[in-house]
């Protein structure tokens, strides 16, 4: 049912930044129709990419490259992502991560989060901030992307606001990699 949702190609550029001279991502993304190799030899994502194809491509890619490289791909993935206005510190950042996720995704060409009205569209899962304190947040994630990739995304986002931020998977046996509907993560900082 993800076929009506997409993500901006610009946001995906960061995914390739995790790879230096490795053709696997370009080959897989091309096979799934997410873009093409341009005249200068660099991979060019389409302006928008269907999430259903992207998720299949990234699951295949993450199985090939392993959890550490998937994490690094997630870290690099935040490089070009748009942020909602008003995020100025780590606490607000974790509370607004779901809005940041939705603002970079589209439903039938329309951004899934409107910062002016606060309206968020449903259908692609969420990054829920379940609790937050002075040095810790607990995030519950039920999005279609790979777990290790998500951990990297959240760490990169958190480190925009607090360079000591670290994301760890809570309850590793309850994980989307093992068929669970969601994962829980702890984001901690000093």
Per-residue pLDDT tens over the stretch 33-73: 999 988 988 889 999 999 999 999 999 999 998 999 999 99
Please tell me the least confidently modeled range out of 45-54, 60-69, 78-87, 151-160. 78-87
Q: What percent of the chain has pLDDT over 90?
A: 76
Q: How many residues does the chain have?
A: 190
| Verdict on whether the full-model pTM lies above 0.85 | yes
Please tell me the least confidently modeled range out of 2-11, 59-68, 101-110, 144-153. 2-11
How many helices, marked H, and strands, marked E, lie in the chain?
Answer: 7, 12
CA distance 24 to 27: 5
DSSP strands (E only) in 143-188: 166-170, 183-188
Strand partners, 137: 132, 187
């Amino acid at each position: 049912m993800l076929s009506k949702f997409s993500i901006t190609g610009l946001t995906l550029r960061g995914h390739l930044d995790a790879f230096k001279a490795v053709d696997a991502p370009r080959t897989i993304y091309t096979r799934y129709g997410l873009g093409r190799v341009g005249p200068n030899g660099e991979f060019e994502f389409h302006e928008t990419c269907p999430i259903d194809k992207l998720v299949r491509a990234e699951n295949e890619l993450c199985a090939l490259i392993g959890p550490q490289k998937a994490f690094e791909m997630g870290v690099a993935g935040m490089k070009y992502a748009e942020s909602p206005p008003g995020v100025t510190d780590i606490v607000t950042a974790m509370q607004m991560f779901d809005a940041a996720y939705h603002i970079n995704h589209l439903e039938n060409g329309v951004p899934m989060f409107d910062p002016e009205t606060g309206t968020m569209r449903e259908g692609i899962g969420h990054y829920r901030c379940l609790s937050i304190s002075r040095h810790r947040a607990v995030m519950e994630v039920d999005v279609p992307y790979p777990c290790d990739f998500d951990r990297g995304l959240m760490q990169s986002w958190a480190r925009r606001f607090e360079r000591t931020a670290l994301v760890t998977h809570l309850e590793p046996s309850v994980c989307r990699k093992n068929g669970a509907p969601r994962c829980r993560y702890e984001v901690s900082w000093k």
